[in-house]
């Protein structure tokens, strides 16, 4: 059981066709494909093409409305609120960040908050959209409840990632992290490997630290209690209240300002209800964008060149690993898990698409699922 590498272009044509067949426009299909495959290119397999099955199920179950049009329901020169009307998260997210970027072009700052959306892929994609235009980009999203607040035993916040990207040379600052210590996908991997979890990741249904991945995942699914700890663990000594606080800031810019659903209400009764937040800031409202970019680039270089801990070869700045993964995958192909390929085969049958038109003679064999999950 393993991985097979496919060229970017192959996966791109395939994804595009799948989403068109689901009923999305060509332009929408391009956006969704772009978000998913950037994740695979960046080495974040969890949020890439392996999520196709999740979107497939979301559309089938009616959580995702293919025909929904995101609607701007409130607007000022620096802000907007969008009702996603249960559409596809990537389409809504892309539209929202476009508006934030336009506003940043006019006033210097654009902040857009979104309610009634669905999972939108990696938060970093939208931060990168702003960065590609020379701006500082932010994006965050809530999700189904998975983070247990400090001293609690029920998940009340999502994994609540916050992403930030900013132009620099030789590559941008690109930070994208859940405010939980890890994400559910990591628990799933340990469960499949039948390995105990590291201490400080998860809580059982009574709110005690636990290393039993199978038990925790079962309790999460059945909403018995328990979940994942905030960044900083479950004790104030290790800074649990800080991760919980950054998770709250994510909730403010997604569900609170949009008057949408907080994480503890999302993904229930055939309703996603996911909320996002986006911001774009033009560095030139603080002076020369070129000088600011150079100042950041110098600092990032100093960080990379600063003395390493013994036995460590390298200090990374945020975004370096992603850039290196992208270069490798554009050259050598994107590794896709055999189980994911089986799901894509199923999808072709469901949509009456010709699998071999994209993947030739390749036929996946059933095996253990071994996906990575970044948040």
Pairing of strands 227-228, 274-281: unpaired
Which of residues 174 and 355 has its CB atom nearest to a copy of itself in the complex?
Answer: 174
In the complex, minimum distance from the CB of residue 250 to a copy of itself, in angstroms, rounded to a whole number: 11
Residue 362 binding a copy of itself, by CB under 8 A: no
Report the distance separating Cα 323 and Cα 329, nearest Å.
10
Q: Are 124 and 174 in contact (CB under 8 A)?
A: yes
Stretch that binds a copy of itself, among 12-20, 25-33, 47-55, 107-115 (CB under 8 A): 107-115
Which of residues 113 and 143 has its CB atom nearest to a copy of itself in the complex?
Answer: 113
Site string for a copy of itself, 233-252 (x = CB under 8 A): xx--xxx-xxxxxx-xx-xx
E-state strands within 46-135: 71-76, 79-83, 109-117
In the complex, minimum distance from the CB of residue 51 to a copy of itself, in angstroms, rounded to a whole number: 22
Q: Please identify which residue in the block is written with the tokens 């999950």.
A: 373
Query: Judging by beta carbons within 10 Å of its beta carbon (0-12, 13-18, 19+), is residue 211 exposed, middle or buried?
Result: middle
Residue 303 binding a copy of itself, by CB under 8 A: yes
Tell me, by CB under 8 A, how many residues bind a copy of itself.
Answer: 82
Among 54, 85, 153, 192, binds a copy of itself (CB under 8 A): 153
In the complex, minimum distance from the CB of residue 88 to a copy of itself, in angstroms, rounded to a whole number: 23
Which of residues 180 and 337 has its CB atom nearest to a copy of itself in the complex?
Answer: 180
Which of residues 33 and 46 has its CB atom nearest to a copy of itself in the complex?
Answer: 46
The Cα-based distances of 20 to 3, 33, 58, 95, 337 in angstroms read: 26, 10, 16, 18, 24
Contacts of 210 (CB under 8 A, 6+ apart): 197, 202, 203, 204, 216, 226
Task: Please report the sign of the dihedral spanned by the C-alpha atoms of residue 90, residue 231, residue 175, residue 260.
Answer: positive
Residues in 154-213 that interact with a copy of itself by CB under 8 A:
154, 156, 164, 166, 173, 175, 177-179, 181-182, 198, 200, 203, 206-208
Residue 312 binding a copy of itself, by CB under 8 A: yes
Among 314, 349, 352, 360, binds a copy of itself (CB under 8 A): 314
The 10 Å Cβ neighbour count of residue 305 is 9
In the complex, minimum distance from the CB of residue 117 to a copy of itself, in angstroms, rounded to a whole number: 16
The Cα-based distances of 34 to 15, 21, 28 in angstroms read: 9, 17, 10
Which of residues 66 and 154 has its CB atom nearest to a copy of itself in the complex?
Answer: 154
Stretch that binds a copy of itself, among 122-130, 151-159, 331-339, 348-356 (CB under 8 A): 151-159
Residue 5 binding a copy of itself, by CB under 8 A: no
Structure tokens at 190: 């340990």
Residues in 115-134 that interact with a copy of itself by CB under 8 A:
none
> What stretch of H or E contains 177?
strand 173-177
Closest CA to 37 of 90, 1, 84, 99: 90
In the complex, minimum distance from the CB of residue 89 to a copy of itself, in angstroms, rounded to a whole number: 20
Residues in 279-298 that interact with a copy of itself by CB under 8 A:
281, 283, 285-287, 291-292, 295-296
Residue 48 binding a copy of itself, by CB under 8 A: no
Backbone phi and psi for residue 115, each to the nearest 5 degrees, phi listed first: -120, 165
The 10 Å Cβ neighbour count of residue 307 is 7
Residue 99 binding a copy of itself, by CB under 8 A: no
Structure tokens at 111: 């902040």
């Amino acid at each position: 059981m393993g991985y097979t590498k496919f060229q970017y272009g192959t996966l791109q044509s395939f994804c595009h066709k799948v989403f068109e067949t689901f009923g999305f426009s060509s332009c929408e299909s391009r956006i969704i494909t772009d978000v998913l495959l950037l994740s695979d290119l960046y080495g974040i397999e969890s949020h890439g093409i392996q999520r196709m099955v999740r979107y497939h199920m979301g559309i089938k179950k009616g959580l995702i409305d293919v025909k929904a049009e995101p609607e701007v329901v409130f607007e000022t020169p620096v802000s907007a609120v969008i009702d996603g009307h249960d559409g596809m998260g990537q389409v809504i997210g892309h539209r929202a960040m476009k508006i934030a970027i336009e506003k940043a072009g006019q006033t210097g700052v654009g902040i857009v908050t979104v309610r009634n959306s669905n999972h939108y892929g990696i938060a970093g994609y939208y931060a990168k959209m702003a960065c590609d235009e020379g701006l500082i980009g932010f994006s965050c999203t809530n999700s189904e409840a998975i983070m247990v607040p400090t001293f609690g035993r029920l998940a009340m916040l999502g994994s609540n990632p916050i992403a930030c990207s900013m132009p620099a040379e030789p590559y941008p600052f690109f930070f994208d992290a859940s405010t939980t210590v890890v994400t559910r996908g990591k628990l799933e991997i340990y469960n499949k490997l039948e390995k105990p979890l590291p201490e400080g990741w998860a809580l059982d249904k009574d709110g005690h630290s636990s290393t039993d991945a199978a038990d925790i995942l079962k309790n999460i699914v059945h909403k018995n209690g328990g979940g994942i700890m905030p960044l900083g663990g479950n004790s104030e000594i290790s800074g649990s209240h800080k991760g919980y606080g950054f998770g709250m800031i994510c909730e403010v810019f997604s569900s609170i300002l949009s008057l949408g659903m907080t994480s503890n209400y999302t993904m229930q009764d055939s309703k996603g209800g996911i909320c996002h937040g986006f911001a774009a800031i033009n560095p030139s409202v603080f002076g020369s964008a070129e000088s600011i970019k150079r100042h950041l680039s110098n600092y990032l270089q100093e960080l990379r060149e600063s003395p390493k801990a013994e036995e460590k070869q390298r200090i990374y700045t945020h975004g370096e690993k992603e850039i290196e993964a992208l270069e490798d995958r554009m050259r050598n192909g994107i590794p896709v898990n055999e189980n994911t390929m089986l799901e894509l085969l199923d999808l072709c049958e469901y949509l009456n698409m010709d699998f071999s038109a994209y993947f030739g003679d390749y036929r996946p064999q059933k095996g253990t699922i071994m996906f990575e999950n970044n948040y």
